[in-house]
Amino acid sequence: MKRFIAIILTAVMLVSFAACGKDDGNNSSQQNSGYNGIYFEGDSAKKNGTTLGTPQVKLNPEEVYTKITYTPEMFYGSYRLKGGDEAEDKFGAESKYFTCNLGDGEMELTVLPRSIKAGKNNLGHKISYIEGYNWMNVGFMTRDKNGKTYITSVFCAYSIEGNKLILNPIDDFNVSDKTNKITYSFSDLTWEYTFKFSGRNLTLSNENGSVTLNGALDSYGEYDYFQCSQYLTPGSASPNGIDAFFFRYDEEDRKNTPKLTVEMADRTMSYASVGTLEENGLFTFTLVLEESVQTYQYVYFYCQMDGIVLTDGKKNYYFNSEYFDRMKTNAKKYLTEDLTGALDSLSEAQLEELIETQTNLMDDLAKAFNDAGIKVTVDENSGELAMDTSVLFGGDSAVLTAQGKAFLNKFVSVYTSIVFSEKYENFVSKTMVEGHTAPVTGATYESSLPLSKERADNVKNYCISAETGVDISKLASSLEAVGYSNSKPIKDADGNVDMAASRRVSFRFIINIDAVK
């Protein structure tokens, strides 16, 4: 529980970034961090009178389960028979068995599993370090020559094809005590099951019958606490701008349909709300925001220690990223590709220090640009300090205008005063000047690359020239230019390309990892 509380406290800090520097029409800089956390705790909803609203779009979970395209992440979690030891004994006694050769030799296994586990945290095994596969621990009942039944587990790589779960079991797995190197081999077996989700239940079937497993049970086969503290998986779409889910049911909640408190926090205030995760698979929650009250509904796949997956039947939303993984993902935005592997050498405390310093630096830059009246978009999602090219250049030109030079004079003065201040000494190793064009019709990556590169080069060269009137001695040795053509467009909340915002030149500082060692 101590670790869970620590995650929530840190998450509250991270969520707070979203409110800093919002453009209200008067500010000249804008910060966009994208952190919006949903917190479910205790029964405070009952105390403050918050009630669950009616969603504008109501879902039919059975229809959603029938129509969606399934992905491996939807099987993350721990599914097992209800009823504990008694149910397993009955399952072992009444099931059909088949004989197979795995590992040390021949064994008899039930034709259907009594449990499955998938997802890195649920597995808790070094097999999850092997990339390129989705891994599952499949539990069976086995029996000896005397008919006595036991529980055994088989690690399998799994894939999904339509409504079929396809398993390829591991025949051999070893980890070297000296080198920690993993060696493994697959058997020549393939097991297939037809599957069907229904709320928290997962039914697996083959020609010999079917078994229904439940995804909300503890190790004794009884209902467990529902809890989640996971972030949006990198690359996943976000439902309503939400970036993280944190919730835990207490003893009283889990007896009935749970009603939970939701908090959406930023720098100035938090918003309470309620939510339910129903047995039929519906997740409904109401967000009580400052300006509105909105109720949303999704079908959920509860992944236990690996988070939660939501779907509206058309789009899936994955919350399977851990706090430590999220910090790494954020730090990578401020590193060149060749340096990202160095993050693995950092302790969690060092990584937290790195992220905190980086966040403070972005905050200080946003405030300084705003105070100086310099229009720069400070975006923690990308790590960019973005300038509108219309301020710097004319039309499709790469030649800096007088207005553009005046803008860069002020920009460089503010940037160097913050980045090379005593507060951030040695934290920034270099600064990238990145040129971007918009993906206009008919323009290819190759045709747009020269303009993006030339604009980045010209901005760089001017910033390290004497014309700025600024001491650029430290900046000159650390400035690099690169063109990205139209490969990194800016999109609006609906996923459409913002053509004007995509035409930009950005500064992006690169962190010196050694500064926290």
The candidate with the shortest Cα–Cα distance to 325, out of 266, 244, 249, is 244
Q: Give me the pLDDT at residue 258, please.
A: 42
Q: How far apart are CA 234 and CA 265, in angstroms?
A: 21
Share of the chain above pLDDT 70, in %: 82
Superfamily of domain 326-516: OmpA-like domain (3.30.1330.60)
Quick one: which H or E segment has residue 212? strand 209-214
The candidate with the shortest Cα–Cα distance to 14, out of 342, 384, 264, is 264
Question: Residue 73 burial (CB < 10 Å; 0-12/13-18/19+)?
Answer: buried
Mean pLDDT of the chain: 82
Tell me the whole-structure pTM to 2 decimals.
Answer: 0.71
* 134-138, 244-248, 322-326, 502-506: the lowest-pLDDT one: 244-248
For the stretch 155-183, pLDDT in tens is 999 999 999 999 999 988 888 777 778 88
Residue 413 scores a pLDDT above 90: yes
Residue 261 scores a pLDDT above 90: no
H-state helical runs in 77-229: 84-94, 120-123
The candidate with the shortest Cα–Cα distance to 37, out of 261, 206, 191, is 261
Q: Give me the pLDDT at residue 355, please.
A: 87
Q: Give me the pLDDT at residue 330, please.
A: 80
Residue 38 scores a pLDDT above 50: no
The candidate with the shortest Cα–Cα distance to 246, out of 266, 276, 226, 224, is 226
For the stretch 87-103, pLDDT in tens is 888 999 999 999 988 87
Q: Give me the pLDDT at residue 9, please.
A: 26
Domain range annotation of the chain? 2-19+35-64+222-321, 65-209, 326-516
Reduced to 3 states (helix: H, G, I; strand: E, B; else coil), residue 57 is coil
Distance linking the first and last C-alpha atoms of the chain: 29
Position 332 confidence tier, pLDDT thresholds 50, 70, 90: confident
Query: 455 and 392 in contact (C-beta within 8 Å)?
Result: yes
Q: Give me the pLDDT at residue 249, please.
A: 55
For the stretch 433-469, pLDDT in tens is 999 999 999 999 999 999 999 999 999 999 999 999 9
Position 221 confidence tier, pLDDT thresholds 50, 70, 90: low
